[in-house]
Chains A and B, each alone.
Chain A
């Protein structure tokens, strides 16, 4: 919400400086986002008089002017058709920056004639759209004066972020009220025109700058005289839910020309484009008082106007030129033949006012905030009116708002006004909160004397029992209020609905920054770990992965359909994705990591080791997962080992087991099984399972067709660890089981077995490990060989077995007996001892 300082001062009598005002606004919750002084960038432009004008000898459309900008005649070449001797305009000397052209003026030679600057148009100075000629100022404008000073462009523009609760501050007047309550000045009473004068015209509008000469702008010259030209317009609300109150008035015989300069300038200053007097008046009042209005060209309406529910499928072309299809939840304003307004959101194009408008119907209605919000959301149509109505405009300000608007129309556009027609009633039931002033300390943490609290609330428009205004405050009256205060909420504060809101009002005006810090008491008892087992597991897995040389990435939770497809497809689809690339929730962490891997390789990375810990979004749940992608060189070429080595499936297996171990999984009990899925190399991948069903990890090489989809060349190894499938460790206290290292030395024995190639080595090793459950403590493959000396279809597997004696050393006979058991057990798996 933008407004100028002088605009604010229409509602706030203050001696505060701009800096004080800006500081106070932010302090009381109206955050200032920026302050701009439009005159600053035009400070170099001066008022100048054209002394003489002659034809340029080399160009028909150019003239050579002699210009006095206060320091004697300067030669200036000018192409404006209105340039002529005697004209007083705006001059920029070399060195001045022309914002509308984005150039800095230089001494130039134009078709052989030296030019010492430029006479400017409004568009060149970004003060308007006019580019038909240079600016013409009144003849008595002071030559040599800086133009912004003369034109009143030194009025700072303040941009304030209004939080959604403060509809009342979507008008300059509401902001002024808050500032007055904060002690920044006196809130100016609003004069409601009856048959006198429109009150909202700036008091100094008649004396401001260039406008000064025009007596037409003197607000005291015209009022609502001749007020009632007939009865009010034929209007009604048939939709008391969507439009509880519909007030309107007609003004006939208007001239809809340009709005007066003071109004145009105020609108331009805050970035609004002046359109025509009638439209500008509604825009001005919306900014000024936060009261949206709508004006219809009476001649374009057929019969009376009603507020009603739209018919399903009914269409309207709105003022933004777009066609909207409506449904029966939406409130519209319509005549006998067509919809003319999406009620409270945007008017229709057909009945909008134009230069030809002579009779205008002014609508001042109260639309239900929830209805407006729903309609706006459905139509995805935003407007200044919607943002005010959906936050709730002041329901008590219909008559006054309409009176002010009508007065302004009469004043600016002439004509005579009808009586007011009122249909329906705005919701005006008084809302009262029982407020305990101790709450400012008990909830807000700030002790504020009750009387001070009362004065703050009163100055914001609340009333407390019999005290109806700040002026009415007296100790005697105040002393009559005991216990909880009956605080009545002002009609313009729809956001306030509980005691906590009143605490906020008190505390923010008092200065929320002055709340003293109060230490949070320590929780009693022994400090407990505040992370859950799952969180600790994730932390360990993360630190372990980084310790193993992997870089942690964070990739998007959403992917394209194509990326998700090989990993089972996304179970969740965004209805409104930012792009097709970020459309479905990831079923796996690998596609995101593969895409990142691809980007790294394209940037020249030789080796990529990425991991991520995050969630997979499956249909039934979000699952904590760790993903690893290994691509490029596992080992770079080097002087010791020669050629570079690339990653293989066993690297993936090593990562899987290490990360599972770090995560507390019982890795010794895991079984390697197949069925990693379609995304994997069918012969070089597997799963690690705890029992046949609980899959803790998938690992291996990825399928070439998947890699191709990610534009990756070469082999890529990957791991996915399903962190939430890892069984939690049972809490057994801190003490470990008793342990004494064995006194006797272990014995190692090697066995070489001949087995069918298809036999999984692990099957053989697991089998022989349990051949003697007491003596054998480990069994480990240390060689696998095929080729010379090994018959076709077979492989040689060498296994080292460790035997641990307990009470006394093994005898030769005992060792032989164990070895025989090992061989016999291996034979059951199809293995024969190689001799």
Chain B
């Protein structure tokens, strides 16, 4: 009897292993374990046996059933895996085909640099201030100690507005309220800030400025940033430290040398022009280097003139401070290597994609303000 069962098991397992598909395997199952299956029938014989016989036969028949059932399950898993592999193989795609491109946008270098400036100066406690671009004579000139007959007015190449000229002709012009020109610098924001805020004041004011000038290095519209500190006991030494700190942070170099030169602006006294040292790297001027090869003019600055502080209704014996102004477009060019100013305002998407910044390049102090 044991012989027979062993033979039967071998026979059945061979058939299972040979089953080529799930249908054939199921046929094996029915033949062995179905209602009339060989093993099912064998199990039924157990009931007619004597207890002694059953004690011997029972485990043997059960063992056969188990072996065959396991064989079927294993074979089934193998066949299913093969079928899945075959289906997946049939679904093969050319993964070298291009995926849909998501258009990548860009931030203009001027905006990027403005954000960098805001970040650097925020660390020094400077808030960002703004003012109108269409300005009055008083805010743009007079309050800044540039009276009508001052030669500096002529040097400003001012764009005047017809509305201001008409108001003058009609006798309705008021120097303080008639908007008559496009601001020639961001300095009127100094005035507006001092008029609207109580000292101590620390602000920067980036924005568009305008002068009637157009050549390879000048555009009629450009960007400036103004800085203003009004407090007690502020000196040129603070100005120097602030600008050194700013320029070093902006260019992310410690080996930057500034040169201060006496200069003249009607709204500061003393006035200081700031040059930054550059070194020549492969024939290109690169800002920085402990031993400069030359100097680039980057900033005008000075101690705010008493008359300006007075014009804003503050007591110049109590409050003093410094101001500075700097071309943002030029800062961008020096840092990011553009040679020509004119494409800044053309909107050429090739230029924007080349010189622009990712939306994720948000300047932070922790990540470095440059990108």
Contact = CB atoms under 8 A, between A and B. Distances in A.
Contacts of B320: 443
B210 A603 contact: no
B319 to A, nearest CB: 12
Contact of B348 (A516, A576, A603, A617): A603
For chain B, which range describes its interface: under 10, 10 to 19, 20 to 34, or 35 or more residues? 35 or more
**Which of B344, B350, B362 has the largest number of chain A CB atoms within 10 A?**
B350
A29 B97 contact: no
B108 interface: yes
Contacts of B359: 543-547
B236 A600 contact: no
B229 A520 contact: yes
A552 B151 contact: no
B interface majority secondary structure = mixed
A818 to B, nearest CB: 40
**Which of A503, A546, A596, A613 has the largest number of chain B CB atoms within 10 A?**
A546
A512 interface: yes
A370 B149 contact: yes
B270 interface: yes
Contacts of B345: 554-556
Interface string A532-562: 1011000100111111111111111110000
Contacts of A599: 346-348
B100 A555 contact: no
Contacts of A548: 105
Interface in A513-537: 513, 515-520, 522-523, 527, 529-532, 534-535
Contacts of A638: 98, 100
Interface in B210-259: 210, 212, 214, 220-221, 229, 233, 235-242, 244, 259
Interface stretch (B79-87, B117-125, B281-289): B117-125
A572 B264 contact: no
B106 interface: yes
A164 B264 contact: yes
Nearest to A529: B122
Contact of A373 (B151, B208, B357): B151
A522 B125 contact: yes
Given A373-B150, A543-B362, A530 B111 contact: no
A312 interface: no
Contacts of B235: 441-445, 518
Contact of B208 (A539, A546, A557, A603): A557
Contact of B152 (A164, A531, A556, A592): A164
A518 B322 CA distance: 13
Interface stretch (B8-16, B32-40, B58-66, B158-166): B158-166
B57 interface: no
A238 B127 CA distance: 56
A638 B98 CA distance: 9
A387 B151 contact: yes
B364 interface: no
A446 B236 CA distance: 8
Nearest to A604: B350
Contacts of A551: 105-106, 349, 352-353, 356
A607 B347 contact: no
Contact of A582 (B154, B155, B220): B220
**Which of A26, A552, A609, A639 has the largest number of chain B CB atoms within 10 A?**
A552
A557 B221 contact: yes
B212 A578 contact: yes
A126 B100 CA distance: 66
B269 A498 contact: yes
Given A165-B264, A523-B202, A557-B208, A531 B127 contact: yes
Given A390-B149, A593-B347, A573 B161 contact: yes
Interface string B332-347: 0000000000001111
Interface in A490-510: 495, 498, 500-501, 503-504, 507-508
Interface string B180-216: 0010000000000000000010100000101010100
B75 interface: no
Interface string A360-401: 000000000110011011000000000100110000000000
A294 interface: no
B208 A164 contact: no
A596 B159 CA distance: 24
A512 B228 CA distance: 20
A532 B127 CA distance: 8
B220 to A, nearest CB: 5
Interface string B290-308: 0000000000000101100
A136 interface: no
Contacts of B353: 551
**Which of B127, B200, B358 has the largest number of chain A CB atoms within 10 A?**
B127
Contact of A603 (B127, B303, B350): B350
A596 B346 contact: yes
A518 B133 contact: no
Given A513-B259, A546-B105, A548-B105, A519 B202 contact: no
**Which of B98, B110, B165, B352 has the largest number of chain A CB atoms within 10 A?**
B352
A608 B349 contact: yes
A166 interface: yes
B134 A445 contact: no
B218 to A, nearest CB: 11
A603 B349 CA distance: 10
Contacts of B344: 554
Contact of A500 (B130, B133, B262, B306): B306
A165 B150 CA distance: 10
B272 interface: yes
Given A163-B264, A503-B270, A614 B208 contact: yes
A414 to B, nearest CB: 39
B211 to A, nearest CB: 10
14 contacts: A27-B262, A29-B263, A369-B149, A373-B154, A512-B270, A530-B118, A546-B357, A552-B107, A556-B220, A572-B162, A572-B179, A596-B347, A600-B347, A615-B133
Interface of A: 26-29, 31, 163-166, 369-370, 373-374, 376-377, 387, 390-391, 441-446, 495, 498, 500-501, 503-504, 507-508, 512-513, 515-520, 522-523, 527, 529-532, 534-535, 539, 542-558, 572-578, 582, 585, 592-593, 595-597, 599-600, 603, 605, 607-611, 613-615, 617, 622, 635, 638-640
Closest 3 A/B residue pairs (Cβ): A596-B347, A445-B237, A29-B262
Given A443-B236, A574-B160, A608-B349, 15 more contacts: A27-B261, A446-B236, A495-B264, A519-B238, A520-B229, A543-B107, A546-B359, A547-B105, A547-B359, A548-B105, A574-B162, A578-B214, A585-B134, A613-B111, A622-B133
